[in-house]
Amino acid sequence: MTELSAYGHMIDGASGNLRDAVAVVSADDFGKRPAPGANPVHFIYFHVLRHWDRDINVYCKQEPPAQDAWHRHGLSEALDYEPLDIGTDGIGTGYGYSAEEVDGLPLDAEGLGRYHDILLEETHAYLASLDTATFDDPKEFEGRSYTIGQRLRHLVAHTYLHLGDIEYAKGLLGAPAGDFPTLS
């Protein structure tokens, strides 16, 4: 297995676990706050996907934020929701959202699922275009230095971090746990 294929496998695993985690949440529970001030499942899912988009398209490919997958694939129009200029630094990923902004995110499981599919497809296409030697080439965006390898590791780690949040929220709501593989 090459380093490149290992990233593909890790991203597939994180993506599959994320999809399984949200698939068992009822339509009623998808946008329900599990406790006062706690984020609903749909918002955590959106947050994970927005950061995934940012990792691949803004950081790795160095596209402008308005040219990320969300925007190129018309999700602002389809979901009637424009994330840019919301939250911390206006990056629209869920950081720094007010309670009203969290509640303003559309409850569209199908739309977020389509976004998830787009990101997975684009990520695999991007990985197929890479040479492992470029993983450690320094890049910079908005004064932040990083490598492609660091952003890919962030994508995987960030997804798993928030899977825990989704499972916790589901537990508070009484939703069933995701179907995670057993380790042997």
Express each pLDDT in 14-51 by its tens digit: 999 999 999 999 999 999 999 999 999 999 999 999 99
Share of the chain above pLDDT 90, in %: 82
Kindly state the average pLDDT of the residues 106-125. Answer: 97
Q: pTM, whole model, 2 decimals?
A: 0.94
- By CB neighbour count within 10 A (0-12 exposed, 13-18 middle, 19+ buried), where does 55 fall? buried
- By CB neighbour count within 10 A (0-12 exposed, 13-18 middle, 19+ buried), where does 169 fall? buried
What per-residue confidence (pLDDT) applies to 79? 95
Average pLDDT, the chain: 92
User: Residue 53: CB partners within 8 Å, gap ≥ 6?
Assistant: 68, 69, 70, 115, 119
What per-residue confidence (pLDDT) applies to 22? 96
pLDDT at 183 over 70: no
Crossing angle of the two packed helices 109-129 and 41-53, in degrees rounded to 10: 20
Cα gap 81→75, rounded to integer Å: 8
Domains delineated in the chain:
3-173 (1.20.120.450)
